[in-house]
Amino acid sequence: MSDKRYAKIRAISPNFKRRLSGVTSTIARLVPLMQKHGVIATGLGLPASTPMMPLHHSFFIERSKWRVWHARRNTEMLFGLVLRYLFRRKFKLVFTSASQRTHSKYTKGLIARMDHVISTSHKTASYLRRPSTVILHGIDTDPFTPVDEKKALRESLGLPDGKLIGCYGRIRHQKGTDIFVDAMIDVCKRESSIYAIVMGGAIGKHRDYEMQLRHKVKDAGMSERILFKSEVSVDQMPVWYQALDLFVAPQRWEGFGLTPIEAMSCGVPVVATRVGAFEDIVHDGKTGHLVNTGDPQEMAGVILDLMQSASALANMSEAARVDILARFRLQREADEILAVYENLIGRPDWRR
């Protein structure tokens, strides 16, 4: 038995995780853009607006032509192999790797059976034992745009009208929030016009970590200068970037990391550690600076140098926006993935 309702489907992106994750967000952003090219999602935990098909229908999708099964997790690679070899569905198997560590023997075995592999950064590609296509993530740059008047925006957000430096994202040791706090205690002691914002959520065991950071700030007498803000929804994020003069990404480890791209799209230069895809994202000395991981003193020095040079900051702000528009639009990511699909299964008639 085959299901002909999906005859026009050319690629399926499965999501086998209920909880929100970076992979889930990637699929939710890309599939609506790619739907008109025959791409659909399946699985769990995706927004209701995502074009989807029930997972069990993939067992019966008709076999008149090849399609792509685009996995991003081990379970999804395994499921694709089951569809292809046990249920004889005509799927070309693609895997996107974001991991920056040596894969387990099991994962290596699954990857070896894929028809094509995509890496989310050049560093990620270096951990693979087979060639891959590097496709950097992109964002919708329309809501993430610079503003001309920061003073009014800051007032509306209840923020001080000084030099603002932000660190946004989950609050946990892996994200290096403590490195940012240590660096900013140093910076704020040395420059009275600078303020810092730590914004994000801490859950479970990470709540104690957040409380330790709050106490450290209080003990340093910096509660009025280093501000902790609650996490906001995705649609509210652009204004929080727009209010900043500088964004810091202090991670100890990161799979990819979209926050520097979102900040730079708003014309905000970035100081980032050399992890994840940050070395692919930040042009050191042009759109921001790269620093070593786990070194708050180096970070503080770089931040102070930048904040004391209005011209350098302005030049980086302009360059950051231009670079993001050139290299990190979401449509560019979608087009590069579609090119991989077409190399595997050919171009549809309406694209020839």
Domains of the chain plus CATH, in order, are 4-138+330-351 (3.40.50.2000), 150-327 (3.40.50.2000)
Q: Say if strands 133-134 and 163-168 run parallel, antiparallel, or are unpaired.
A: unpaired
Over its length of 352 residues, how does the chain's per-residue pLDDT go in tens digits? 456 678 889 999 999 988 767 788 899 999 999 999 999 999 998 988 899 999 999 999 988 899 999 999 999 999 999 999 999 999 999 999 998 889 999 999 999 999 999 999 998 999 998 999 999 999 999 999 999 889 999 999 999 989 999 999 989 999 999 999 999 999 999 999 999 999 998 888 999 999 999 999 999 999 999 999 998 887 899 999 999 999 999 999 888 888 999 999 999 999 999 998 899 999 999 999 999 999 999 999 999 999 999 999 999 999 999 999 999 999 999 999 999 999 999 977 545 4
3-state SS, one letter per residue, for 178-199: HHHHHHHHHHHHHCCCEEEEEE
Of 184, 179, 213, 215, give the one whose Cα is nearest residue 197: 184
Q: What pLDDT, on the 0 to 100 scale, is given for residue 25? A: 85
User: What is the reported pTM?
Assistant: 0.85
Place of tokens 């990637």: 26
Q: What is the pLDDT of residue 42?
A: 97
- Pair 175, 182: CB distance under 8 Å: no
Tell me if 159 sits within 8 A of 243, measured CB to CB.
Answer: yes
